[in-house]
Structure 1
Amino acid sequence: MYEMDEEVAIGHPAQPTSDEVALYGWAAVHERMDVDAAAIDLELSRDGILSALSSLTERGLIHLSDDDAAPLRLMDPKLVADVVTAPMEMAIRRQQASLDAARGRFSGLHEHYLEGMRRRSLKVELVPRLEEVRAALNRAAAECKTEVLTSQPGGNRVPEALEEALKRDSVTLARGVRMRTLYQHTARFNGPSQSYVAAMTQLGAEYRTAHELFGRLIVFDREVAFIPEAGGTWGAVIIREPSIVHYMCDIFEQTWSLAQPFSDATTDGLETVAREVDRTIARLLAAGLKDETIARRLGMSLRTARRHIADIMESLGAESRFQAGVIMASRGLLKEDKPTLQE
């Protein structure tokens, strides 16, 4: 309802055609205007040359006169462009002024919104759209003074998202804010995540990994928390109720105390990391969880999870999940202190 076509609103002028550009160049080189000669040299029809000449004359780019001393005069296209685009620039300035005024009015409404939020007994806000979620996160990060707690399930993060996070988090750390982030162990195999963690650790950020996380969470200054909107959308729920935020921070701290410092799989030894992953999958198998649930809880793709499951069953010599559970229990492989599936 509020959108309009920019060219219609501003009155965008038509651009010179290729024939007009060619004829202007011919005239500049020959310092005269000869329709027939230009048509031959430019391989255009005589009517085409006449049409281009008429347009160039109307635009003020070419002036023809009966003065034998100066029958042809070319105008600087930049000067002509300044004249032509002056109304556009004026329209843009008017629109910018209207935009600033509209933002000012909405800013006034925002004060009333914040006052309403302060008066609510349960301070919970649903933000359904991704663009608004990003804006809210950026604002919270800019206003953060002491601490950021983050839980990031999943093993892979796209490089573009990490580049954006690197810029934002670097500024936050430079203000002396403490940043702690929980990843799943599978993130150790992800190259972009390894590079990002290495760079941010040098700036003072802290990272640990765990096999399973309680979910996605970001908390700023232990005052405002972001959690995903239910239903798998890109929305978020912003929570400011102190008791709920305190509870979430407690969950984070419990997981943090049991997590391990982030290091890439090569540093830990690929075999060691793989054994840890397999041992966790074995416990989840014994608990009767489905492949999809195991993959989601460990932050890996379904294909990867099924490959691990197949390797575990082959290593155990089991033909069914039930049999695998019996073998694992008899060998004590479901205990934390057993490092391997093989004896």
Structure 2
Amino acid sequence: MSMDICDDRASDASCTALSADEMAAYGWVLDHRRTDPARAAADLGLTRGQVDAAFAKLTALRLVVPDAEAGPEAPARVRAVDPDAVLGGLTESLRESIQQRQSQLQRVQEDFDRLRERFLRGRGETSPAGLEVIPSLEEVRAALNRASAECRTELMTSQPGGNRVPAAMEEALARDTALLNRGIRIRTLYHHTARFNGPSQAYVAAASALGAEYRTAHELFGRIIVFDRELAFIPDHMGTWGAVAVREPSVVAYLCEIFEQAWTHATVFSEAGQDGLERVAKELDHTIVRLLAAGLKDEAIARRLGMSLRTARRHIADIMETLGAESRFQAGVLAARAGMTDEVDAPAGATGP
């Protein structure tokens, strides 16, 4: 076997991969049984240089060889070789390389399985009972992936914030699809503002079709992920991307109860243009007025409602303009007179788990 055109890089698949020009040149040789670069270039619509390079590649790969029947007096006579006769020899080194890589991968996997077992055992010995601090985003993702793989019955999440990154939504959809296909029940709480986010709408539509359930609320208690009512993940208090894994049964049960209360009073997710838009807008306005009356700053209101600061300020400005208020205090007084500080009626169809 000869791989001289690859400069001894036999494991590089690009050495033997054929371009469209080379495929066309092979067909031309098959039809004409000779090498005539000038005519081949004219027939194929290629330049002479492209044809010369294609013939050289085909010859080096032994896909085109001299026609032994023509004899030495007709050196231009060649024939196209059956690709199956060439393929085995050309790919032998690639197969060997793949097998070596697979063996290496298996050894690495086995080593890291042992490391994982030791890591989890050691972390359990040093962490407070039922609590585990996970300091980095990469380790949080690894822990969530393990928990997802081990999940048996149910996943509950509360995801504050209105904007979603498309790439993150695609990753989440792939993960949730695997869970749903295993019969896992998935329930997720979002802020109302998620209804106006395109990636969120697409994600919820796709996952809902597979059986996942989504509701939104004007305010949420915070971010939480609970697996099988046995393992909960909550953010760390430093505001970083770290997390705390909670396994203590009483604490997990308490977090689940908080989720259930929020779920009961939340509204079934629908696109902004569907039923519920008027209610969502009314709840947002009522909540903003109530938070303004409580003295919260724009930044705090935006954070509580899961919207950008710019959006929150636009809502505040619209409310004050509608009320004809010149100050926040006046807006609170006028809103109370207009009944905007009264509680919004419980959403229909959201009274059960």
Could you tell me the TM-score, scaled by structure 2's length?
0.73
Question: Among residues 306, 311, 329, which one is paired with 1:304 in the alignment?
Answer: 311
Distance 1:10 1:180, change over 3 A: same
Alpha-carbon shift at residue 305 of structure 1 (Å): 1.8
Which structure 2 residues correspond to residues 151-190 of structure 1 after superposition, within 5 A?
151-157=158-164, 165=172, 168-169=175-176, 172=179, 177-189=184-196
Alpha-carbon shift at residue 212 of structure 1 (Å): 1.1
Equivalent residue, structure 2, for 1:147:
154
Mapped to 2, the partners of 1:23 and 1:199 lie a distance apart of 46
- Asked if residue 93 in structure 1 is aligned to residue 99 in structure 2, the reply is yes
- After superposition, the C-alpha distances for 1:58-99 in whole angstroms (9 at most, x for unaligned) are 432232267446953321234323312210111111111111
Distance 1:9 1:230, change over 3 A: farther
Alpha-carbon shift at residue 219 of structure 1 (Å): 0.9
Mapped to 2, the partners of 1:65 and 1:271 lie a distance apart of 80
Equivalent residue, structure 1, for 2:326:
319
- 8 Å contact kept, 1:219–1:225: yes
Mapped to 2, the partners of 1:274 and 1:141 lie a distance apart of 35
Which structure 2 residues correspond to residues 69-80 of structure 1 after superposition, within 5 A?
71-80=77-86
- After superposition, the C-alpha distances for 1:198-255 in whole angstroms (9 at most, x for unaligned) are 7766776554433211211101123222234566665544333445434433433443
Percent of pairs identical after alignment?
Answer: 56
Equivalent residue, structure 2, for 1:212:
219
- Asked if residue 126 in structure 1 is aligned to residue 140 in structure 2, the reply is no
Mapped to 1, the partners of 2:55 and 2:209 lie a distance apart of 65
Distance 1:48 1:198, change over 3 A: closer
Mapped to 1, the partners of 2:20 and 2:213 lie a distance apart of 59
The answer to which of 193-202 and 134-143 deviates more is 193-202
Mapped to 2, the partners of 1:256 and 1:67 lie a distance apart of 82
- After superposition, the C-alpha distances for 1:255-298 in whole angstroms (9 at most, x for unaligned) are 345x2342536665543332221111011112222222212211
Distance 1:58 1:329, change over 3 A: closer
Distance 1:120 1:20, change over 3 A: closer
Structure 1, unmatched stretches of 5+, are 1-6
Alpha-carbon shift at residue 300 of structure 1 (Å): 2.2
The answer to which of 24-33 and 290-299 deviates more is 24-33
Mapped to 2, the partners of 1:61 and 1:250 lie a distance apart of 70
Distance 1:143 1:274, change over 3 A: same
- 8 Å contact kept, 2:299–2:309: yes
Which structure 2 residues correspond to residues 213-292 of structure 1 after superposition, within 5 A?
213-228=220-235, 235-242=242-249, 244-257=251-264, 259-264=265-270, 269-292=276-299
- After superposition, the C-alpha distances for 1:179-202 in whole angstroms (9 at most, x for unaligned) are 443222334455665676577667
The one-letter amino acid of 1:307's match is R
Mapped to 1, the partners of 2:17 and 2:152 lie a distance apart of 52
Mapped to 2, the partners of 1:83 and 1:54 lie a distance apart of 19
Mapped to 1, the partners of 2:24 and 2:212 lie a distance apart of 60
Mapped to 1, the partners of 2:57 and 2:274 lie a distance apart of 71
Alpha-carbon shift at residue 113 of structure 1 (Å): 2.1
- 8 Å contact kept, 1:124–1:241: no
Mapped to 1, the partners of 2:22 and 2:208 lie a distance apart of 60
Question: SS at 1:10's partner residue?
Answer: coil
Alpha-carbon shift at residue 151 of structure 1 (Å): 0.8
What is the number of residues matched between the two proteins? Answer: 330
The one-letter amino acid of 2:247's match is R
The one-letter amino acid of 1:90's match is E
Alpha-carbon shift at residue 144 of structure 1 (Å): 2.1
Equivalent residue, structure 1, for 2:349:
none
Structure 2, unmatched stretches of 5+, are 1-7, 347-353
Equivalent residue, structure 2, for 1:27:
29
Question: Among residues 106, 113, 122, which one is paired with 1:107 in the alignment?
Answer: 113
Alpha-carbon shift at residue 110 of structure 1 (Å): 1.8
- 8 Å contact kept, 1:126–1:237: yes
The answer to which of 293-302 and 327-336 deviates more is 327-336
The answer to which of 291-300 and 50-59 deviates more is 50-59
- 8 Å contact kept, 1:212–1:297: yes
Mapped to 2, the partners of 1:187 and 1:139 lie a distance apart of 27
